[in-house]
């Protein structure tokens, strides 16, 4: 527009005005474009959330697996300690059986009794650590399963977004329906992931 109120329409001005007023040269395609654009925005947002959840569960799985390895190492250390106490107990038993002095037999028997008590305490601790390791392993496996569900949901939503682009380019109704179907499937798989199924 000039300073004097004179306005010249460009070749695209009429189409822009027509599109903003709800019209379009193809009957109903403006509505289709709006639907696909809205659908794509929603699916992209949901897909970003699913992707984040997939990354979080994968990180948790790694952390839990690391905790399991730490507990397994601690349990192994306890079993080694248990073994050293067993060896000491065996040596005390041999010493007790070989000695002829009654006072020494009593001394060795006290050591044997002490080693037996210590072994039982060590065994209880080692078994608890093994149980903790098993629990961490189970949690890690559950997180990996959930991660796979989130990844599947994200992948299906990405396919829906690709179909949206194809629907916009081809203006084929069946592609639009396929896009909505894939979006629905992706949402269902995401719900399954959130339910730990």
Q: Is the pLDDT of residue 24 over 90?
A: no
Instruction: Give yes or no for a contact between 83 and 110, defined as CB atoms under 8 angstroms apart.
Output: no
Per-domain residue ranges for the chain? 32-194
Q: Is the pLDDT of residue 29 over 70?
A: no
Q: Is the pLDDT of residue 154 over 50?
A: yes
Query: What's the mean pLDDT in 132-157?
Result: 94
More confident position, 107 or 8: 107
User: How far apart are alpha carbons 168 and 181 in whole angstroms?
Assistant: 16
User: How far apart are alpha carbons 150 and 52 in whole angstroms?
Assistant: 9
Q: Is the pLDDT of residue 184 over 50?
A: yes
Binned at pLDDT 50, 70 and 90, residue 4 comes out as low
């Amino acid at each position: 527009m000039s300073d004097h109120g004179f306005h010249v329409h460009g070749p695209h001005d009429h189409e822009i005005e027509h599109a903003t007023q709800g019209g379009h040269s193809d009957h109903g395609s403006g509505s289709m474009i709006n639907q696909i654009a809205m659908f794509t925005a929603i699916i992209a947002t949901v897909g970003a959330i699913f992707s984040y959840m997939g990354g979080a569960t994968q990180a948790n799985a790694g952390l839990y697996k690391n905790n399991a390895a730490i507990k397994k190492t601690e349990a192994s250390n306890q079993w080694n300690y248990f073994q050293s106490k067993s060896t000491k107990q065996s040596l005390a038993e041999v010493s007790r059986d070989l000695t002829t002095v009654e006072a020494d037999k009593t001394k060795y028997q006290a050591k044997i009794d002490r080693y037996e008590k210590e072994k039982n305490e060590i065994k209880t601790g080692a078994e608890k650590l093994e149980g903790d390791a098993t629990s961490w392993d189970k949690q890690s496996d559950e997180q990996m399963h959930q991660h796979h569900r989130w990844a599947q949901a994200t992948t299906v939503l990405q396919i829906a977004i690709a179909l949206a682009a194809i629907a916009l380019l081809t203006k084929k109704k069946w592609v639009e329906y396929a896009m909505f179907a894939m979006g629905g499937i992706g949402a269902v798989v995401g719900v399954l992931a959130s339910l730990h199924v």
